[in-house]
Structure 1
Amino acid sequence: MRATLPPNEVIRTGFLLVDASNIDDETFAEPLPMLRCTPGTLTNADDLTPRLIDIAALSPAQQEDATAALLREAASSRPPAICAWLDSPLDAAALARHIARFLAGPGAEGSSVFWRYYDPRVFSLAMAVFLPAQKEALLGPIADWRFPWCQHWWTVPGPGREIDPLGGYKSAWPTSTQWRSLDHSDLVARVFVHIHDTHKALSAAAVLRYQRGIDLALIAGKQHLKLTETDELVEYALHSARYGDAFLRHPKLDTAWTDLAQGKTNWVDLQGLLDHHDYQKLNQEYQLQQTHMGAT
């Protein structure tokens, strides 16, 4: 996964991958023809499954409208409506079948789940934790998966060839270890909202560094510190990603981390051990680090 430039002209080819649940009256000037990507196991949830728009099948005016909607996604703070722009040698029907193939399967606890891997907030995390063989299976006939995420455009090249349909979903399905990351993709997104509040223009490299740091912090917060409340996990991951060891190894918190893991204290009381001056110093060190790393 690498950063790329947004389309610099009206797109005439490829396919838009759309989250139908996030479409509203403002997404397109007029309703565009869409093909449903619904596996047989999710027919009762058809309204939630993604859609494909065949760009070449649109009129020139519709292509302009679709391009404008796609370009708006990078700067939008709303849940993504247009998730990706795909390049594939397949026709729309065959590509829709491929997209649908990996939408349902067993989750981390073994129960059946609907996996929104096409959502940029999930897809970007999958690309960070997946093995090469899993990425190839997930993309299959897709030669290029371009998508807006965290105020940047990204591209992931795919094989551009179909994979064995008899293999089912398993070739591209997350392992139990990978689910630990993928299950908190929404929390990663929430932490990024806070980061963007203070850094309006993170570099692409900084975005990837933060994603990795946030992911590891959330896993540690859940597994080692026994944090369960969503807000506490988000705050812990934000502090960890922002301040790093200056926070995690702060002298005032030396024994507090063990107490938190053992249930002898809570997150609010741990935070309270640091006063205004401590956080002021942490923020100063953070700003110096960001300047040095070129994050803004």
Structure 2
Amino acid sequence: MATQAERSITRRSSGRPPWLARAPLPLQLLKGLLITGIVAVMAFPFISVILTSFAAPGASRGLVPDAFSLDAYRSILTGGVVSRALVVSIGVTAVGTTLSVIVTVLLAFGLTRTREMPGGRVILFGILATMLFSAGIIPSYLLVRELGLLDSYWSLILPTLVSAFNLVVVRNFFMELPQDLLDAARIDGASEWRVLWAIVVPLSRAVIAVIALFYAVGYWNGFFNALLYIQDSSKWPIQLVLNTYVLQGSPLSQIQNPDLTPPLQSIQMAVVVLATVPVLLVYPFVQRYFTKGVLTGAIKG
């Protein structure tokens, strides 16, 4: 085991701590090969799905079809169930993410001053308790029914409006902000609303982007709430349509254009692509905030 003196010498010679020292070249090559293999294994199924979705009628069903066509996408996007479900999912995701971020930011900012807010600690402990205990499916369903939210888009938003985990991350991030800056604004006469929107929010773009991504992915992938609360098929989000028409193998005639006859498997894979690609397109824009927002918000001190 290296002594303190040896660690100090290593750190002075390399200019960085031992755990950040550059690995030997063979080890770097081994890591590169390992990571490349993992990426290939993970990307292979998705590439296969994409290629199959573009297969033309009569094309071979191998990894790479011998003929390509857009008929599957034309069929499901010409006013059928899938196109309507995409609109529903986009609307629920946009409205739900916006409301969730606003409520989470407001609640987290208020809970940063639990000592000054009456009942603040009780509220905080009550929120944290939801990370360990839940009411269960039947009480949740009865509550949604009594509120008159069955077959309503709000049943896909309100039950998951605030995530306790996201709230804790944002609250800890707010508590790491320089309090002297906030106190100076208050001394100058700024109200709590002005302190929040003019100082706290601009300094917290990283963590807000991260929780917005978390909420958006949650709403977009929401399946169980739709299965539980939405009986009208015209209000189904894309994930429920994906389950019904692809995984359960139900007839797809309702989502096809009668003038187009793409292979059934191509239509199924096209629905999978449409349900997956939006998240992949959004993630790169918030990826640069991801590490900073999560680490700063989740680690105290």
Q: TM-score, normalising length from structure 2?
A: 0.25
Bigger strand share: 1
Q: Which has the higher contact order (CA 8 A, sep 6+)?
A: 2
TM-score, normalization by structure 1: 0.25
Please state which structure has a larger fraction of its residues in helix: 2
